[in-house]
Amino acid sequence: MSELRVAVVGAGLMGADHVIRIEERIIGAHVSAIVEPDEGRAKSAMATAPNATWFPNVEAAIEAKAMDAVLIATPGQFHEPVLVPALAAGLPILCEKPLTPDAASSLRMVEAEVATGKQLVQIGFMRRFDAGYENLRNLIAGKKQGELLGLHCAHRNPAVPDTYHNDMLIFDSVVHEIDAVRFLTDSPIKSVQVRHMKRNTLNPEKLNDPILVLLETESGVLASVEMNVSVQFGYQVKTEAVFEKGIAEIGRTAGMTTFFDGQIATEEHMSFKTRFAAAYDTQIQRWVNATKVGKIDGPSAWDGYLAAAAVEAGLTALHTGERVATEYAAKPAFYA
């Protein structure tokens, strides 16, 4: 088949990054359309996508038959208005996480997809494409070391912008672990509890961070998540898995080791852009490959809905301090 023509919707930080990725590193696809109301942003992104046409909204692009598939990279609250017409047009979609900001709207998207009669939506939980997570999942599934009993996760950012506020700890950051824990255990989140560590005085005043989030899966695995957005030293995402017969750990940095000034040291990442660079590339390449044969190859709209519902429980847990049970709609047979 010839090259997949991709419309990138949203040309902000994330969208612009995807444009460069598709143009420079992804085989079998190119950016044919940039959908972005802000003309300046659109033109700036088009500098690296010479064959792309600019559209101010997704409907115009659909009418112009400007693409074979859609990559949605706008903020979460703007996903639904893009998803609805794209689904109606029967277009394959890679939708950056979250599917939508809340469980009710996410369930609407699930229903809209079911109505098309075909799985079209993949969610951008890119950690599923990280080699470490994949290896750990295989180790868990193989049961060579017995059952998985628990997980200790750490998700650490050096700092966050002033616009970052407390609820984002759950819906913007912990949402990654919510999906990753499910991916690793193959079991939905059953309850969420949030405990506070001592507050880091170096973060913006409205933040009460770091927190320790306890995610329990329906299969009985307990995952503790240190969510920490102001740890200063670097960007670090790691997971320690507790098995019946031992432990496994992913996420340690591995670069050059230097021995200077009395220290033996390796560098840590400073941003998700380098930490998950390969995962983003792999995600898009596999999505392009699958799309060409009419499939998705990653988390589905249903996975997006489950994450949205667990995020809701997580927000209640954050606000109340209680252990909060998740509530899910019945799973459509469509997602068997």
Does residue 155 bind a copy of itself (CB under 8 A)? Answer: no
Where in 128-147 is the site for a copy of itself (CB under 8 A)? 131-132, 135-136, 139, 145-147
Residue whose CB is less far from a copy of itself, 24 or 38:
24
Binding segment toward a copy of itself, per CB under 8 A, in 19-27, 82-90, 92-100, 298-306: 19-27
User: Assign residue 65 a region: left if phi > 0, alpha if psi is -120 to 50, beta otherwise?
Assistant: left
DSSP 8-state class, residue 146: -
What is the side-by-side strand order in the sheet with 4-9?
A: 53-55, 29-35, 4-9, 69-72, 93-95, 121-123
* Alpha carbon distance 31, 29 (integer Å): 7
Pick from 250, 288, 296, 318: which binds a copy of itself (CB under 8 A)?
Answer: 250
Where in 47-86 is the site for a copy of itself (CB under 8 A)? none
Reduce the DSSP state of residue 211 to 3 states and report it: strand
Does residue 333 bind a copy of itself (CB under 8 A)? Answer: no
Write down the least CB distance from residue 79 to a copy of itself, Å. Answer: 29
Does residue 263 bind a copy of itself (CB under 8 A)? Answer: yes
* Alpha carbon distance 204, 126 (integer Å): 28
* Alpha carbon distance 94, 231 (integer Å): 31
Tokens representing residue 136 in the block: 């750990």
Pick from 38, 197, 319, 331: which binds a copy of itself (CB under 8 A)?
Answer: 197
List the Cα angle 189/195/197 in 5-degree steps. 135
Binding segment toward a copy of itself, per CB under 8 A, in 4-12, 118-126, 173-181, 221-229: 221-229
Pick from 43, 65, 165, 195: which binds a copy of itself (CB under 8 A)?
Answer: 195
Does residue 26 bind a copy of itself (CB under 8 A)? Answer: yes
Question: What is the full DSSP assignment across 152-209?
Answer: EEEEE-S---TT--TTHIIIIIIHHHHHHHHHHHTS-EEEEEEEE-PPPTTS-TT---
Return the amino acid letter for 198: K
Write down the least CB distance from residue 250 to a copy of itself, Å. Answer: 5
Strands 324-325 and 222-228: unpaired
Number of residues binding to a copy of itself, judged by CB under 8 A: 70
Residue whose CB is less far from a copy of itself, 99 or 288:
288
Write down the least CB distance from residue 41 to a copy of itself, Å. Answer: 25
Binding segment toward a copy of itself, per CB under 8 A, in 44-52, 70-78, 237-245, 312-320: 237-245
Binding flags for a copy of itself, 264-283, as an x/- string (CB under 8 A): xxxxx-x-------------
Closest CA to 128 of 187, 184, 172, 175: 184
Residues contributing to the site for a copy of itself (CB under 8 A) = 24-27, 131-132, 135-136, 139, 145-150, 152, 154, 156, 193, 195-202, 210, 212, 214, 216, 219-222, 224, 226, 228, 230-234, 236, 242, 244-250, 252-268, 270
